[in-house]
A and B are shown apart, each in its own frame.
Chain A
Amino acid sequence: EAGVAQSPRYKIIEKRQSVAFWCNPISGHATLYWYQQILGQGPKLLIQFQNNGVVDDSQLPKDRFSAERLKGVDSTLKIQPAKLEDSAVYLCASSPGLRNNEQFFGPGTRLTVL
């Protein structure tokens, strides 16, 4: 079974530029998560989708971050414009459902903002 796929794996941009990350979850998984992991910290949930609807986006900085999951499969996370403090690893995870399910993480995208 294929795992969660993410691209790109690495991205370096200058502040005020925009960037987009892509995630393809495990086939059949209804729930998709985007996390931000700053070096030395635990993952912080940015947004959670159930199929193509948003379940939780309370910690998403909506003035600069946006995410969508069209057709309830792939998802993209965008940052526009980027700030220095956005430097982090962005992890995508998926799970079969909402309740008490194991989350399967992708390899992540390491973003460096200069």
Chain B
Amino acid sequence: QQPVQSPQAVILREGEDAVINCSSSKALYSVHWYRQKHGEAPVFLMILLKGGEQKGHEKISASFNEKKQQSSLYLTASQLSYSGTYFCGTGRGAQKLVFGQGTRLTINP
């Protein structure tokens, strides 16, 4: 079952904050976040495991709420380099990752 991401697209000015959500109808055990710039390969941001932990990466952090079957990615004080399409991927242990449809983030100066 493919996770659902929201919003589908967001446009920000440099320095503004953004939240991207990833929801699943199935129980979540792990959530992976990747960023893909136009014409390039996806690049890993972070993995969150079952347990409700929050992780950080520079000014990008994420939370994982297993009860709500949802993960959120937080981008603080966005930079131009944050532009791209963000994908969440959900999985369980050795099982395959299923990616969402993506959220396109555009940061303007």
Give A residues with C-beta under 8 Å from B: 40-45, 48, 55-56, 58, 91, 98-100, 102-108
| Sample of 14 further A-B pairs with CB below 8 A, known A55-B96, A102-B47 | A41-B102, A42-B2, A42-B89, A42-B101, A43-B87, A45-B96, A56-B96, A100-B47, A100-B49, A100-B93, A102-B44, A103-B44, A105-B41, A107-B40
Residues of B within 8 A of A (CB): 2, 30, 32, 40-44, 47, 49, 87, 89, 91, 93-102
Residues of B within 8 A of A40 (CB): 101-102
Docked-complex contact B30 and A100, CB < 8 angstroms: yes
Contact of B93 among A43, A99, A105 (CB under 8 A): A99
Distance of A61 Cα from B101 Cα, bound (Å): 21
Q: Which residues of A sit under 8 angstroms from B47, Cβ to Cβ?
A: 100, 102
**Identity of the chain A residue whose Cβ is nearest the Cβ of B40 in the assembled complex:** A107
> What is the bound-complex CA distance between A58 and B101, given in angstroms?
20
* Cα–Cα distance between A27 and B80 once the two chains are bound (Å): 33
Q: In whole Å, how far is A46's beta carbon from the nearest beta carbon of chain B? A: 10
